[in-house]
């Protein structure tokens, strides 16, 4: 049976020029490179330059993905930008990207599911393609979390970084089985009872942007429990198992979460793409960044079965199974 699939056509990423090593925090905080490295796996992260916004980062990543696909901005039907750090409260950062890539015929909007944002965005892009509302969707994850840090809170400010990654998904025919290229299954979840575990203490209600607050240990506990579960659920939907997976591309928050999830999934670390050491936690940007790096370094190849999974503020979490 012929069916429609949302197939990856191009991928790209962008990291701001400034790299900040763990040791830089030792001057201003009661912390050490050793603590950050052993508790989180992070060694360095990138911070946006003054005046460099999320839509700037997103545009660089989008242009890289367009070049990879051999397309221009005018060829895109829809732009979905996953971010919690849009340049302004409104309009969406996606519409800013739309203007910057020279697209005037499509439509653009942001999705806000914090660190799970890219998984939610992929799922929505898939739905647009399968329902015939778009044939080519630019899906971006971009963040400037350096703008929402409390620089006196050593439990959070050493963990996050800035960056952007982008994919282009295109409608293509498939056979309707798990050998098809493209998005094969998605699983989305949220539970608003956990809002106090990870949130920004500002916004429209307070008339200031606010800073990130996190109960790290509790978020860690939920992550380990929920990530393997959502990945299994997504794989089950298409009758696949962990043995079929070529690459797990997890949200990059903490190497210990990545390792525990891989173990629970039954996938060896030799089949996991890890970038947390170089990027820190870039929230919605972490998965597309890892996908792009995974392709650039020759790991992820056409036809590989890829599973992405993420959890973040909300709590919101989910997984996407796709064949590259
Ligand atoms: O992307 C969204 C999802 N977010 C996550 O997945 C993050 C989940 N959480 C984590 O990754 C980890 O919980 C952290 C990396 C945030 C913390 O690691 P932990 O092993 O859970 O440490 P902890 O919070 O239990 O803190 C242990 C100790 C505490 O000291 P006491 O109370 O034992 O004296 C902290 O005050 O480490 C202390 N600490 C630090 N010490 C040096 C916390 N941050 C630092 C720091 N440097 N930067």
Chain segment 11-57, per-residue pLDDT in tens: 999 999 999 999 999 999 999 999 999 999 999 999 999 999 999 99
Supply the pLDDT for residue 36.
98
Strands (E), the chain: 3-14, 18-21, 44-47, 78-82, 107-111, 136-144, 162-174, 182-190, 198-200, 212-214, 247-250, 305-312, 316-323
Tell me, yes or no, whether 125 and 26 share the same domain.
Answer: yes
Catalytic residue among 22, 126, 254, 281: 281
Tell me which residue range forms the domain holding 277.
182-323
Q: What would the pLDDT profile of 150-202 be if each residue is shown by its tens digit?
A: 999 999 999 999 999 999 999 999 999 999 999 999 999 999 999 999 999 99
Tell me, yes or no, whether 199 and 315 share the same domain.
Answer: yes
| Residue 316: strand pairing partners | 190, 312
Residues 6+ away with beta carbon under 8 Å from 98 = 73, 79, 104, 106, 108
| 66 has a pLDDT exceeding 80 | yes
Ligand 1 centroid distance, CA of 277 (Å):
16
CA distance 227 to 230: 5
Ligand 1 centroid distance, CA of 134 (Å):
43
Tell me, yes or no, whether 262 and 169 share the same domain.
Answer: no
Q: Is the CB of 91 under 6 A from ligand 1?
A: no
| 2 has a pLDDT exceeding 90 | no
Tell me, yes or no, whether 262 and 119 share the same domain.
Answer: no
Q: Is the CB of 217 under 6 A from ligand 1?
A: yes
Q: Is the CB of 190 under 6 A from ligand 1?
A: no
Tell me, yes or no, whether 104 and 187 share the same domain.
Answer: no
Of 2-6, 255-259, 271-275, the poorest mean pLDDT is in 2-6
Length of the chain: 324
The question of whether 251 is a catalytic residue gets the answer: yes
Are the C-beta atoms of residues 142 and 96 closer than 8 Å to each other?
no
Are the C-beta atoms of residues 64 and 44 closer than 8 Å to each other?
no
Provide the token pair at 293: 């790096």
Tell me, yes or no, whether 143 and 8 share the same domain.
Answer: yes
The question of whether 115 is a catalytic residue gets the answer: yes
Q: What would the pLDDT profile of 121-147 be if each residue is shown by its tens digit?
A: 999 999 999 999 999 999 999 999 999
Tell me, yes or no, whether 170 and 186 share the same domain.
Answer: no
CATH of residue 82:
3.40.47.10
CA distance 141 to 79: 11
Mean pLDDT (whole number) for 264-291: 98
Tell me, yes or no, whether 170 and 187 share the same domain.
Answer: no
pTM: predicted TM-score of the whole model, two decimal places: 0.97
Q: Is the CB of 260 under 6 A from ligand 1?
A: no
CA distance 60 to 66: 10
The count of structural domains within the chain is 2
Are the C-beta atoms of residues 78 and 131 closer than 8 Å to each other?
no
CA distance 124 to 110: 11
What's phi and psi for 130, nearest 5 deg? Answer: -65, -30
Tell me, yes or no, whether 237 and 318 share the same domain.
Answer: yes
Whose C-alpha lies nearest to ligand 1, atom 28?
Answer: 155
Tell me, yes or no, whether 201 and 133 share the same domain.
Answer: no
Ligand 1 centroid distance, CA of 212 (Å):
14
Tell me, yes or no, whether 93 and 225 share the same domain.
Answer: no
Q: Is the CB of 171 under 6 A from ligand 1?
A: no
Q: Is the CB of 257 under 6 A from ligand 1?
A: yes
Three-class SS string for 3-35? EEEEEEEEEEEECCCEEEEHHHHHHCCCCCHHH
Best probe residue, ligand 1, of 30, 39, 114 (max atoms within 8 Å of C-beta): 39
Average pLDDT, the chain: 98
Among 151, 174, 197, the domain boundary falls at: 174
Ligand 1 centroid distance, CA of 321 (Å):
31
Buried b (16+ CB within 10 A) or exposed e, 84-120: bbbbeeeebbbbbbbebbebeebbbbbbbbbbbbbbb
Catalytic residue among 46, 222, 251, 279: 251
Among 153, 174, 195, the domain boundary falls at: 174
Q: What would the pLDDT profile of 98-116 be if each residue is shown by its tens digit?
A: 999 999 999 999 999 999 9
Ligand 1 centroid distance, CA of 160 (Å):
13
Among 174, 203, 220, the domain boundary falls at: 174
Supply the pLDDT for residue 20.
98
Supply the pLDDT for residue 1.
67
């Amino acid at each position: 049976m012929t069916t429609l699939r949302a197939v990856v056509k191009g991928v790209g990423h962008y990291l701001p020029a400034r790299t900040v090593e763990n040791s830089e925090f030792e001057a201003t905080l009661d912390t050490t490179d050793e603590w950050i490295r052993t508790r989180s796996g992070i060694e360095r992260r990138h911070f946006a330059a003054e005046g460099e916004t999320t839509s700037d980062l997103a545009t660089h990543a989008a242009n890289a993905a367009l070049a990879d696909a051999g397309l221009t901005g005018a060829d895109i039907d829809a732009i979905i930008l996953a971010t919690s750090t849009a340049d302004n409260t409104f309009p969406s950062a996606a519409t800013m990207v739309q203007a910057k890539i020279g697209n005037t015929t499509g439509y653009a909007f942001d999705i806000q599911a914090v660190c799970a944002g890219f998984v939610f965005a992929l799922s929505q892009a898939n739905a647009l393609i399968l329902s015939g509302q778009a044939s080519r969707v630019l899906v971006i994850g971009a963040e400037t979390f350096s703008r929402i840090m409390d620089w006196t809170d050593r439990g959070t400010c050493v963990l996050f970084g800035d960056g952007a990654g982008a994919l282009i998904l295109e409608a293509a025919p498939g056979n309707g089985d798990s050998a098809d290229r493209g998005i094969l299954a998605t699983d989305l979840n949220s539970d608003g009872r956990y809002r106090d575990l990870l949130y920004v203490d500002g916004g429209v209600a307070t008339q200031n942007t606010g800073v990130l607050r996190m109960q790290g240990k509790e978020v860690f506990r939920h992550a380990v429990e929920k990530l393997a579960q959502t990945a299994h659920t997504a794989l089950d939907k298409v009758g696949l198992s962990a043995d079929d997976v070529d690459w797990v591309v997890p949200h990059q928050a903490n190497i210990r979460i990545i390792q525990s999830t891989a173990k629970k999934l039954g996938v060896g670390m030799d089949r996991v793409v890890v970038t947390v050491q170089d990027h820190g936690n870039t929230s919605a940007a972490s998965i597309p960044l890892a996908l792009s790096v995974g392709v650039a370094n020759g790991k992820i190849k056409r036809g590989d079965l890829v599973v992405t999974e993420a959890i973040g503020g909300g709590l919101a979490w989910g997984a996407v199974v796709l064949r590259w």
